[in-house]
Amino acid sequence: MNTDKSPLKSALQAIAAQVEQAMQAELQEHLAAADPLLKEVLHYSLFSGGKRIRPVLCVISARACGRDDSALYSLAAALEYLHTATLMHDDVIDHAPLRRGRETTVERFSLADAILAGDWLHARSLYLVGRLTAAAGLEVFCRATEGLANGEFLQKRLAGDPAATEADYFEVIRQKTGNLIASACALGALYAGARPEQVAALRRYGELVGMAFQIVDDLLDYTGKGAETGKELGNDFREGKLTLPLLRALAAAGPDERQAMRALIAGDRSQPAAVTQMTVCIAHLGGFRSAAATAREYIARAVQELSGLLAAPASAAHAALLQELAEYILIREK
């Protein structure tokens, strides 16, 4: 499929390949004396067709701020390690059978393996960040990881609660997804020794891109093609996560529609019919369209943060790639 090979995709795939090489080399060296099953679990979890969004953003951010050397790819790897660690733990918590179209780590191996290998990756990622970006980077990164856990608590608290607001939703996705993607960009900039205002601008770019990414994820959870997302549809609804499309539909609903939707939320959400009815309801009330418009706004705001980098000849090409990447997020299908 040559149409798939846009210049953007080629550029991103080239960076992702460099990050994967760094991961392979790093693991081979560092796991030389490790237990064979730990190695197997880590390889299974890390090389499973992930999109590598976080490490790629880290690399482009560093390049945009003027630095590109071999250790940058170890720093980028740290972001994928942490992301993978959180997915492994999330899948334990959610008893998720599938991710990216194949068995989750907990399903393929065991609860113990998924928890422990996740802890290993967590430690390794923090070590790499501390070594490569010192205290300033470690602070950014650790606060993001604390925010991830805190965001999960918040999300759990809100599950199935019809009083959950849009502000709650945005706070959850900021902590769960925005923070870490913001860190990816900020760490790349810190690694490159960027000026504080550049670090801050890339941090905000990352946060906005991350939130848009999550909004699109939440849209695809209802409307995606299962074969492409590699997950079952309607998971969020089944778990009681009231994501933006549903919240927008609720806000647009008349009294009767709202009552019907609340009954679906309070009812047996595991029924396939309930997912279907809710999906139809949201579509009818414009919830998907409205959520997509918000994702577009976030991306537009993210791109504005790049104006300084786009204006400087030395960074313009990299910043243009960040812009394209941000805009691509809106049309992704998996």
Name the site residues for its own copies (rule: CB under 8 A).
Answer: 34-35, 37-38, 86, 89, 92-93, 111-113, 115-117, 119-120, 122-124, 126-127, 130-131, 134-135, 138-139, 142-143, 145-146, 148-150, 152-154, 156-157
**Minimum distance, C-beta of residue 277 to its own copies, in the bound complex (Å):** 28
Task: Compute, in degrees rounded to 10, the torsion defined by CA atoms 101, 28, 42, 108.
Answer: 70
Spatial contact of 330 and 212, defined as CB atoms under 8 Å apart = yes
What is the secondary structure of 6-23 as a DSSP string? -HHHHHHHHHHHHHHHHH
Residue ranges of alpha helices (H) inside the chain are: 7-30, 36-46, 53-64, 70-94, 105-108, 111-158, 166-173, 179-191, 196-223, 226-229, 235-238, 244-252, 255-266, 272-284, 287-304, 307-311, 316-329
Structure tokens at 220: 């695809």
**Minimum distance, C-beta of residue 134 to its own copies, in the bound complex (Å):** 7
The whole-angstrom separation of Cα 50 and Cα 45 is 9
**Minimum distance, C-beta of residue 117 to its own copies, in the bound complex (Å):** 7
Q: What are phi and psi of 314, to 5 degrees?
A: -70, -25
**Pick 62 or 158: Cβ nearer its own copies:** 158
**Pick 92 or 261: Cβ nearer its own copies:** 92
**Pick 71 or 112: Cβ nearer its own copies:** 112
**Pick 38 or 330: Cβ nearer its own copies:** 38
**Minimum distance, C-beta of residue 78 to its own copies, in the bound complex (Å):** 11
**Pick 86 or 214: Cβ nearer its own copies:** 86
Instruction: Tell the residue number behind the tokens 């080239």, with chain if given.
Output: 14
The whole-angstrom separation of Cα 182 and Cα 172 is 15
**Minimum distance, C-beta of residue 83 to its own copies, in the bound complex (Å):** 13
| 3-state SS class at 205 | helix
**Pick 58 or 172: Cβ nearer its own copies:** 172
| 3-state SS class at 102 | strand
**Pick 126 or 330: Cβ nearer its own copies:** 126
**Minimum distance, C-beta of residue 87 to its own copies, in the bound complex (Å):** 12
**Minimum distance, C-beta of residue 2 to its own copies, in the bound complex (Å):** 43
